[in-house]
Amino acid sequence: MPLLFIASLVLAVAAWLWGPPLWARWRRARVVRQPFPPAWREILRQRMPYFRRLPPDLQLQLKKHIQILIAEKPFIGCNGLQVSDEMRVLVAAQAALLLLNRGAGYFRGLHQILLYPGPFVVERPVNVGGVTQEARRVLAGESWQQGQVILSWDDVLAGAADPEDGQNVVIHEFAHRLDQETGSANGAPWLGRRERYARWSAVLGAAYARLHQQLAEGAEPLVDPYGASDPAEFFAVVSEVFFEQPARLAAAEAALYHELANFYRVDPRAW
């Protein structure tokens, strides 16, 4: 069998395995044929200044992604929170920024979006002096490998209201979801081609090392120090900065910005 044919067959099988099944494509096509609800458009106008910055073609893409995410992903209120259309639209809109111009799926493996009224408390085992103890942490968001994204509604609102502070919990947690589509989050999401991983690793690894160096020297880096926790957190944190402070990131870390622009297939500096 010719090698070219084998390679084409492998790519076709990979695309079939990675892409959505035909029934999902049919359902999504039916969803996006529906008009975008005027009430949802008003929510975007009032609550999400970022939306107005997008060029018309990306606004249209974003609205279609919102419709599909809301149709496919269950939103569940926690601690007595009643989930409203405003909550669904604002979460879906900010998450959909990560899908613009990309042929990837709609956060594969994501089964539920859990919303708390505000920051929530989780307990995690930590090792202290060789002894495992339960530690309580207050969080604005989390993404679980099992298929849940957990968000604080207060922080979702804050992230939508200020598109320039470099902090957005929805972008952060849904960047983790992209990272988790190929397994545990490790800072290396699905890039499409094997040869892209070497450069991705080199560029992000160097930027990650510079962040550690800046913190060791007492400098105030552009990237939130939380990004120094591990490569997965670094990818999520720099994704926030990429969308919200693109010009500053491009000036400070040109190679990093280029890699993220290739991955997300957008250039937010132009907006």
In this structure, of 16-20, 108-112, 206-210, the range with the lowest mean pLDDT score is 16-20
Q: Tens digits of per-residue pLDDT, 64-102?
A: 999 999 999 999 999 999 999 999 999 999 999 999 998
pLDDT at residue 19 above 80? no
Angle between helices 254-264 and 231-244 (to 10 degrees): 80
pLDDT value for 54: 97
pLDDT value for 130: 61
pLDDT at residue 2 above 80? no
Beta strands in the chain (DSSP E): 75-77, 112-116, 120-128, 131-139, 141-144, 148-152
| 3-state class (DSSP) for residue 112 | strand
pLDDT value for 133: 55
Amino acid in position 177: R
Residue range 186-271, CATH number: 3.40.390.10
Q: What is the pLDDT of the chain when averaged over all its residues?
A: 89
Q: Tens digits of per-residue pLDDT, 125-135?
A: 655 556 555 66
| 3-state class (DSSP) for residue 202 | helix
> What is the rounded CA–CA span in Å between residue 58 and residue 74?
25
Q: Tens digits of per-residue pLDDT, 171-198?
A: 999 999 999 998 899 999 999 888 899 9
pLDDT value for 132: 59
Q: Residue 48: how many CB atoms within 10 A of its CB?
A: 21
| Residue 19: partners with Cβ closer than 8 Å, 6 or more residues away | 105
Q: Residue 265: how many CB atoms within 10 A of its CB?
A: 12
The residue-averaged pLDDT of 131-152 equals 82
pLDDT value for 122: 78
Q: Tens digits of per-residue pLDDT, 220-241?
A: 999 999 999 999 999 999 999 9
Q: Residue 105: how many CB atoms within 10 A of its CB?
A: 17
Domain boundaries, the chain: 186-271
